Amino acid sequence: MTELMDPDLDFGGEGSDAALFDNDAERYVLGAILHTGGRSLDALEGLKGSDFYRPTHEDLFGRLQAMYGRGEPVELAAVARGLTDNPIRGFPVPEIAGLMRACVTAANADWYARTIRQKARLRKLHKACLAGLNIAATCSIERVDEAVEQVRAELDAAGDDRSRSELSTFGDLFLAAMDRWESKEEGILPTGLRDLDDMLSGGLRPGHLLIIGARPAVGKSVVASVIAHTTAKGGVGTFFPSLEMSKEELTDRVVADIADVDLEKLTRRCLNENDWTKVAKAYKRSSHWPLVVIDKGNMTINEIRSRARDVARRDHKLGLIVLDYLQLVKPADSKAPRQEQVASVSRGLKLLAKELKVPIIALAQVNRASTARSDKRPMMSDLRESGSIEADADEIVLLHRDDKESPGEIEFIIEKNRHGRTGTVSMAWAPHRSRVVSFGGDDK
């Protein structure tokens, strides 16, 4: 009975207490990290080395994390070489290959990581219960109330420590707010479009999701490219995952704007000598801009998160993500109804913005409802396939053009704005230069 009530009991053996750990899950996750060159680490939210039961697995997990964080290759030869130089006691080097065989595909790494975290919580609970048994067994009648509080404290300590860190008193919030107010809008990122920034009370806020919606060919990709290269020009690390446009198409649009060359000349490859001079000067000005583009289709939220963290590890801190476009993000559940798929993507983007503490601009398609109305301007309810986009977005901007009535003009209709006004602003539209600017001059 004494052994059963020992709070330091080793309950992770291969016998009856094996339910408190999952060796196969630990091996799978480590194998997944090796299979993906470390990229799986970005999807393993909240997993800590201390969550692993086996000390050898905890040690190896920490080493893989450190290698990935330093930008070193996380693959078989490099890890084996590291283990040869600095061995893990009880973990032979050939076992690395065994871990890779334990994981046929890394697709389920996040599921196994959740298993590891839950097993770790069960072990904490098990230890707290054993401590409670000891307290009860040794308590005198006169100190029962005190013993009850001790047991409660043990159980509280075994709970999820993240829940306690997420709680804030109003006093703490008030002090943080005063620091924020004193900083005079520190952290707000201008879009480079002066009139839009005025409506957004300065620009883009960290953790916010801004939706730019429009019908096809209205100009949302142009607006996105203008904001992306303008923020990068200011030294802000900008990540542009394009699920629709190719890298070449995006490059042509940006160069047309910054070099002041007709977009058609770039796409048709018919530049004259004067054009080439402009392009060369534009390259000198822009080649160092921290604008990173990927044009891979069917990316999931986890893949976008992983690549965003890669950008954050570069010389420039990640400050903005521009996604083209939301409805093309691959959903986690391809069998779910389409509205649920889009809802999960929009929610995932909002959570990603909060997690990375950067603004995310996501382009979105609107449906054809506006074309059947007398006023062709889109409304928030026109966003295609999911009303949840309206709930998840902090700001929603819809674009409208009427080339017959107002040529050379594009309207920004601010339909939702948590920190500013709603309304409409018009800007100059120059598609031949892939350019949008506020009336009255170039404000970039």
pLDDT tens digits for range 202-255: 889 999 999 998 888 888 889 999 999 999 998 889 999 998 888 888 888 998
Q: Parallel, antiparallel, or unpaired for β 395-400 and 209-214?
A: parallel
| Cβ-Cβ contacts under 8 Å for 89 (sequence gap 6 or more) | 56
Which residues are 204's β-sheet partners?
189
The verdict on domain 16-164 having CATH code 1.10.860.10 is yes
| 3-class secondary structure, 31 | helix
| Cβ-Cβ contacts under 8 Å for 412 (sequence gap 6 or more) | 193, 195, 196, 199, 397, 398, 399, 424, 425, 426, 427
Round to whole Å and give the CA distance between 208 and 231. 16
3-state helix, strand and coil shares in percent for the chain, rounded to the nearest 5: 50, 15, 35
243, 349 Cβ separation under 8 angstroms: no
Alpha-carbon distances, residue 340 vs 107, 152, 241, 334 (angstroms): 21, 41, 22, 10
Please give the model's pTM, rounded to 2 decimal places.
0.68
118, 124 Cβ separation under 8 angstroms: no
The verdict on domain 194-438 having CATH code 3.40.50.300 is yes
Round to whole Å and give the CA distance between 414 and 380. 9
The region of weakest confidence among 70-74, 217-221, 257-261, 326-330 is 70-74
Segment 24-42 shows an average pLDDT of 87
State the number of CA atoms in the 13 A half-sphere of 254 facing the CB: 26
In terms of Cα–Cα distance, which of 200, 251, 230 is closest to 437? 230
Q: Is the dihedral of CA 137, 142, 143, 148 positive or negative?
A: positive
The strands making up 237-241's β-sheet, listed across from edge to edge, are 291-294, 237-241, 318-323, 360-365, 209-214, 395-400, 409-417, 423-430, 435-438
Would you state the pLDDT for residue 231? Answer: 92
Domain with CATH 1.10.860.10 in the chain: 16-164
Residue with tokens 């800007």: 427
Q: Parallel, antiparallel, or unpaired for β 318-323 and 360-365?
A: parallel
pLDDT in tens, 332-345: 777 888 888 888 88
In terms of Cα–Cα distance, which of 103, 39, 118 is closest to 302? 39
Domain with CATH 3.40.50.300 in the chain: 194-438
Would you state the pLDDT for residue 315? Answer: 60
Would you state the pLDDT for residue 111? Answer: 87
Round to whole Å and give the CA distance between 254 and 237. 16
Share of residues in the chain with pLDDT > 90 (%):
16
Confidence of residue 311 (pLDDT cuts 50, 70, 90): confident
For the chain, the average pLDDT equals: 83
Gyration radius of the chain's alpha carbons: 27
Check residues 157 and 343 and name the one with the higher pLDDT: 343
Would you state the pLDDT for residue 307? Answer: 83
Segment 266-281 shows an average pLDDT of 90
Round to whole Å and give the CA distance between 330 and 297. 8
Q: Parallel, antiparallel, or unpaired for β 409-417 and 423-430?
A: antiparallel
The region of weakest confidence among 14-18, 29-33, 405-409, 421-425 is 14-18
Name all contacts of 315-319 with Cβ < 8 Å and 24+ positions apart: 315/290, 316/235, 316/236, 316/237, 316/290, 317/237, 318/237, 318/239, 318/356, 318/358, 319/189, 319/231, 319/236, 319/237, 319/238, 319/358
233, 250 Cβ separation under 8 angstroms: no
Q: At what angle do helices 55-69 and 23-35 cross, to 10 degrees?
A: 20
Confidence of residue 4 (pLDDT cuts 50, 70, 90): very low
Would you state the pLDDT for residue 162? Answer: 54
Confidence of residue 37 (pLDDT cuts 50, 70, 90): confident
